[in-house]
Amino acid sequence: MPGGSLAELQTRRFEPLRHVADPLLVEGCTLISGNPKMGKSWKALQIGLAISTGTPAYEGYEPCPPGDVLYLALEDNERRMQRRVTKLLGLGPWPANMEVFYSWPRAHESGLDRIRQWIKDHPNARLVIIDVLNIFRKPARGKDNAYQADAEAMQSLQQLASETRVAILVVHHNRKSGAEGGDPFEVVSGSMGLTGGVDAVLVLRREAGIISLYGRGRDGEDIELGMALDRETLRWSILGQTADVKRSGERTAILDALRDSGTPMTPKAIADATERPDATVRRLLHGMMNGRVPRICKVGTGYTLTDVPDLPF
């Protein structure tokens, strides 16, 4: 049993956490959750391919340290996986150090032991993807304590990740009733035992016209990033901090409404056209009055768009 005195702990030196896929993934067990059809599997596959090829997971970030990847694509098949990898990598060559399986024993039926053996057989193992949790975990019975069952489902994976210093990324779903506002980590389907039993949680959530990624971990700061899934390339990209992306999107919506109108619009009319709160629109209009091209100006009680550039003095 690990442990000892604080005096002994004081002198111990620990290696820094290994970054697996900058900026989102480090060693340990991470739960990623999102609504159905939001692109969670595309995100997991993109990360896995980046690690297996030693390339950046997201444009503008550092290349991933290369390593072996195990992907349990338990909701997919070979035909669909071939189509997806072709979309992301083209015609090849495809990495031999990423293995994909479409069926796997459940955790309590040797599934966890087989992952441990795979890691042992691959000294350069860096990532295991489980897509999705509900097909891998032990089915919960009606009389089971929900929190305890959820915690046990994740703790075994968290312990394995800690022992082997490999990243384990577990794909899961949000509640269908999850609405905008409130704590984004409360929309993860299941009890708090799921989010409490892992090293980090990533939540994808559509709100205010963008997709936000919220991250919370035991060993790092919380993150809030705006993200986009390109419908042509089917690659995810990071747009920036969620607050900045939201403001940018709201400003763009106001400019588009003024362009479409062609005549001055009151703040109330702009709020109705953009489906934004009236107070938010008024605050943004005040800030946009001092913007550069394109800029807005006030005409009576309304606002209109002008392309007159700022004077050089």
At residue 110 the predicted structure's pLDDT band, cuts being 50, 70 and 90, is very high
Q: Domain span at residue 302?
A: 262-306
Burial degree of 102 (CB within 10 A; 0-12, 13-18, 19+): middle
Same structural domain, 207 and 284: no
Same structural domain, 143 and 281: no
What's the pLDDT at 52? 98
Same structural domain, 175 and 34: yes
CA distance 155 to 196: 9
**Residue bearing the bigger pLDDT, 82 or 177:** 82
At residue 207 the predicted structure's pLDDT band, cuts being 50, 70 and 90, is confident
Q: Of the spans 78-92, 215-229, 231-245, which averages the highest pLDDT? A: 78-92
Whether the predicted pLDDT of 313 surpasses 60: no
Question: Is residue 183, in this structure, part of any structural domain at all?
Answer: yes
Helix (H) or strand (E) holding 120: helix 111-121
> Structural domain tally of the chain?
2
Question: Is residue 6, in this structure, part of any structural domain at all?
Answer: no
Same structural domain, 174 and 276: no
Q: What is the pLDDT of residues 219-236, one digit of tens each?
A: 878 899 999 888 888 999
Mean pLDDT for the stretch of residues 63-70: 97
CA distance 73 to 89: 18
Q: What is the pLDDT of residues 139-176, one digit of tens each?
A: 877 666 888 888 888 999 999 999 999 999 999 999 87
Question: Is residue 253, in this structure, part of any structural domain at all?
Answer: no
* Close Cβ partners of 23 (under 8 Å, ≥ 6 residues apart): 58, 61, 223, 238
Reported in sequence order, the residue ranges of the chain that DSSP labels E, i.e. its strands, are: 19-21, 25-26, 28-34, 68-73, 98-101, 125-131, 167-173, 200-207, 210-217, 223-229, 236-241, 295-299, 302-306
212, 225 Cβ separation under 8 angstroms: yes
47-56, 107-116, 172-181, 207-216, range with the lowest pLDDT: 172-181
Question: Is residue 312, in this structure, part of any structural domain at all?
Answer: no
Same structural domain, 169 and 118: yes
Same structural domain, 64 and 194: yes
Same structural domain, 181 and 275: no
Same structural domain, 46 and 181: yes
Mean pLDDT for all residues in the chain: 87
Question: Is residue 2, in this structure, part of any structural domain at all?
Answer: no
